[in-house]
A and B are shown apart, each in its own frame.
Chain A
């Protein structure tokens, strides 16, 4: 596979022998660029963060789960490429001045996340940096540094990188298609290939599972697959849209869904990971499916030129088994227009960058004080993301009161027999899921129920 990209302003053209070599390993082992660090090798610590730019903008990404071919046609900046001669990038200087480094090992990753945020004029520093773990500083000086450089001049190379990238010829072949129908036809003939979009999950098959993926196909160059469109009666989201793009797209319509996506993994993972991947991998603890179930979304699957549609909850058959055929892929998701009644409750040991123990997404329609529709969906309560059908049924036609909700809570036990694992016990999952339904009704009656909204 031939690829070309910019590395710290210099053009790199190479033939990739193994398409699952990570950018981190390539930088450190082949290029001798050891500033980028391996902390966890699974995209959870951010020590390997790099900046990747293309026409759509600048993104912080975890290079440990970024495969080299994913750089094709883009500009890569590493910590070695930030300074201009002897002049440090403003975030580097601020990190020195504010004592933002102690052991220094996480620092290159932080600096790259901060430089990317700075390039994008992003000042939601906690959200920008939550994918970078630091064990020494307690983060306070790092945030002081991030605040200090708000509005500081941007380095000249940002514009130069973009100028080159816009003119760079993107290599493409079967493993890195750009046209949706070409890909669909090819995949139908090659259903054994592993599809790679953001690689935030597949990356770990390689770095942790040590799997040889065999035939692979990189999907991120298919622009059509990532289109998000508001139609007359709903929102159509291409499966290739990143979580970050989905968050922006749903924000005007479904504020709490967007708020949950703010807490989805980290900036690096939200930039890389796709909504299609979050559905297609069939995880019982992915955060998009419960929200989409609560919103009554449908998904479109495609095989060759054929497409079919199904309710998203029907896609998940049982743990590890989805309704998807050989050569078939998730094409898009449709969310029908509706009043914004959905609330999304993501419960985890840590608020940010954590996998949910339980993710409850609830949408209850009330007409004249009576429940007329209820969609109560959970992740983490069963082998698949699922609706609490017994609870929903019991709620219909009940007056919309706390007492009604309290009365149906025991029915949750008919709906789910949750498991105990390292994230939570079965008992806790059940109590918390019931608590989420209580929270929904209390919140509807204007009670304060969210610790994240309490001011200091």
Chain B
């Protein structure tokens, strides 16, 4: 049995020996050319003059292309056809590509790209939320969820509070930057190697750019060196550029962004400002929640509408909101277009309701966990988008974690210590936060997947599906599914690169759905093949027994045959040993206009307890301990799931602590390298880090009753943020709620401490 086992990552040995091949490692012909973009130095303006003569004359330069050289559509957008690959008259953000240098080396291309003389007629960029609101040019009208009578209920509530939380965006910082290569084929066809989560979209964009049908473009992706949503739509640009240059020069072309270029050009997590008015009773039980989301989407639409939708979908997190109104503004700003990032708006929406829980507890002077518990969903409750909750395990899960982490005792000790020692410089804090995360693409049509499985005559299996491997272990899990179906070992299953020529019309590997969708599609293909083998063997053995596939053998009643021998027999009998599989997620429906439906197949749950310490003189802070209990359903691979949880937690904690994006007043990103943008390092992980899987199985018939695990654990990082809030709250006037904003850098922590005592922060 190969499922429900902690099998190592299928490529682990390749990883540790440096033999795992990434897009930049694919051997290319010696006449390959290398590309670099010349980018805008202003955030908003018209190109007054573009003089490229020095670029063209630079060492090693073969060609320089602008928008005018594009034979087809100048667009790399995922949805709205509003994102030019190369700027035309206008530039919309600092860093926007204007021209494309094609040179004999990566270094020569980069050097030449800096030699352009560009003059602009500058306009005032729209950068802040306030500027964007005043400009009144959103990507669509404000969206709204409404349940019950929120305004009336608010007024009728025993207690009312209001507040606002600002949370920053986040750079993906995949270790492998954006990279693609295009190799011209005969008759105008194009083969593209792309580090993308969405090969089909790259195929479409390349076809549009070259003005050829989809069948003239083939995209292959073996693996990415990290994606996290940052290669869902952002891979279109370098792949499109490579295809354009390869088409025009007739030579293979490769492009990898230098890290600074990558961070400047590509989109990031959406930052949000969320304002809230909340009514509740003496126990902290919510009566009404009214929230307004403001998110800076950048210059193009990209995936901002579904991201902002998902923030709304998660504005309840794990809590029942009896009356609710959630309004969302999707703002156009002159910045890189914000894009998908693990959680896809969910973490931002959930952070606001967790802030509300923390704020209510401060208002009532009680443990925030008591407020959280008072509001947990119970099955039968409905969400603000009118979906009935039927699979909640949040209350027992939190009970189990609170006990195993000794939460109550530790919180009491910290409270006592902070109260007893009012002049202490160092202060500790602790918080437990839950996660409920909706699984499915909220655009229903994306919830489909295909697979292709071949059995060769020696019994070896070749498996392909529409999902992409970015480190999350998708290929391992899907390989386990196939091995389990045929009763063979994982070594007998060859897992191959995602390829638009093998499985067509795929969805992005996103929304945590990779295993749910592709695992089922592969299972479907396997079942087709198994049925054919069973039919043959029933005839051969003259039995009606059900064929069981296990341990390399097929058993029908008292008859048994080696899998390999059965396969050879099938070939001789002229039985097809190749099959496709297909899957669509059942049950889901969503009426976006009405804000009503059943957008998620199911929910994944989890909770984390984090303890932190802060320095009230400088705001420096660190995590001391984290305990996590997470629901991965009946885990397909415990090692991979725990890896997703540990990694997701640290990434989520990074978002809320050290990772700060800074733009200057003119819209230039100032944190565009790891020297200035700080993702968690090794020593930032909790020194005590206990991670357990919650004993559960999916109530829905997902692949072997497992649950998606890619995004939900990211939200566990919220526990760190509220532990910091707890510590800060002890450092000053306890009647004032800290209202900590994210990221909680040392500066943000210190500023918040000063605010508690009404002290001036300036000097």
Contact = CB atoms under 8 A, between A and B. Distances in A.
Nearest to B18: A35
A113 to B, nearest CB: 10
B750 A432 contact: yes
B676 A423 contact: yes
Contacts of B625: 456
Contacts of A132: 682
B175 A133 contact: yes
B18 A78 contact: yes
B511 to A, nearest CB: 18
Given A35-B18, A41-B259, A413-B763, A142 B226 contact: no
B174 A103 contact: yes
Given A96-B13, A126-B682, A450 B650 contact: no
Contacts of A38: 24, 177, 256
Contacts of A143: 682, 685
Nearest to A455: B624
Contacts of B678: 348-350, 354
A88 B16 contact: yes
B613 A454 contact: yes
A108 B16 CA distance: 6
A435 B617 contact: yes
B114 interface: yes
Given A130-B681, A130-B683, A431 B15 contact: no
B680 interface: yes
Contacts of B177: 38-39
A102 B643 contact: yes
A432 B619 contact: yes
Contacts of A108: 15-16, 18
Contacts of A41: 258-259
Nearest to A82: B17
Contacts of A125: 682
Contact of A436 (B618, B750, B761): B618
Interface in A74-102: 78-80, 82-83, 88, 91-93, 95-97, 99-102
Given A104-B225, A422-B671, A451-B621, A351 B683 contact: yes
A438 B617 contact: yes
Nearest to B638: A99
Range of interface residues on chain B? 35 or more
A103 B740 CA distance: 33
Interface string A349-373: 1111111010000000000000000
B675 A347 contact: no
A107 B14 CA distance: 10
Nearest to A443: B425
Contact of B682 (A83, A352, A422): A352
Consensus secondary structure, chain A interface: loop
Interface string A414-443: 000000011111011011100110110010
A129 interface: yes
A355 B675 contact: yes
Given A40-B674, A449-B426, A140 B646 contact: yes
A79 B18 contact: yes
B620 interface: yes
Contacts of A44: 673-675
Contacts of A442: 425
A33 B17 CA distance: 11
Contacts of B614: 451
Interface stretch (B135-143, B468-476, B481-489): B468-476
Contacts of B174: 103, 105, 135
Interface stretch (B4-12, B87-95, B553-561): B4-12
Contact of B425 (A101, A104, A129, A449): A449
A142 B683 CA distance: 12
Nearest to A421: B670
A99 to B, nearest CB: 5
B747 interface: yes
B17 A80 contact: yes
A140 B685 contact: yes
Range of interface residues on chain A? 35 or more
A138 B685 contact: yes
A35 B25 CA distance: 8
B110 A451 contact: no
A2 to B, nearest CB: 23
A133 B674 contact: yes
Contacts of A430: 763
A443 B626 CA distance: 28
B333 to A, nearest CB: 19
A137 interface: yes
Contacts of B683: 126-127, 130, 351-352
A421 B658 CA distance: 16
A111 interface: yes
B512 to A, nearest CB: 15
Contacts of A270: none
B9 A101 contact: yes
A103 B471 contact: yes
A189 interface: no
A79 B17 contact: yes
A393 interface: no
Contact of A456 (B12, B227, B473, B688): B688
Interface string B218-251: 0000011111100000000000000000000000
A28 to B, nearest CB: 8
A148 to B, nearest CB: 14
Interface in B730-763: 745-747, 750-751, 754, 761-763
Contacts of A424: 747
Contact of B471 (A102, A413, A428): A102
A103 B470 contact: yes
A379 to B, nearest CB: 15
Contacts of A35: 17-19
Contacts of A455: 624
A436 B761 CA distance: 16
A137 B473 CA distance: 12
Nearest to B112: A210
Given A102-B472, A422-B671, A137 B676 contact: no
Nearest to A402: B423
Nearest to B672: A422
B681 A422 contact: no
A452 B226 CA distance: 30
Interface in B159-196: 172-177
B682 A39 contact: no
A399 interface: no
Contacts of B110: 210
Contacts of B258: 41, 208
A449 B617 contact: yes
Interface string B669-700: 01101111011111111111101000000000
A37 B17 contact: no
Interface in A295-323: none
A42 B691 CA distance: 34
A45 interface: yes
Contacts of A451: 426, 613-615, 620-622
Contacts of A40: 259, 673-674
A277 B13 CA distance: 39
A40 B173 CA distance: 10
B1 interface: no
Interface in A152-202: none
A383 B259 CA distance: 28
B658 A139 contact: no
Contacts of B226: 103, 105, 135-136
Given A139-B650, A431-B763, A451-B426, A105 B16 contact: no
Closest 7 CB pairs of A and B: A35-B18, A103-B471, A105-B225, A104-B15, A138-B650, A435-B617, A79-B18
5 contacts: A106-B225, A135-B228, A349-B746, A451-B614, A451-B621
Given A351-B683, A432-B617, 20 more contacts: A34-B18, A34-B24, A35-B18, A39-B177, A44-B673, A88-B16, A104-B12, A126-B683, A135-B647, A138-B646, A138-B649, A138-B650, A138-B651, A349-B745, A355-B676, A422-B662, A424-B747, A431-B761, A431-B763, A432-B619
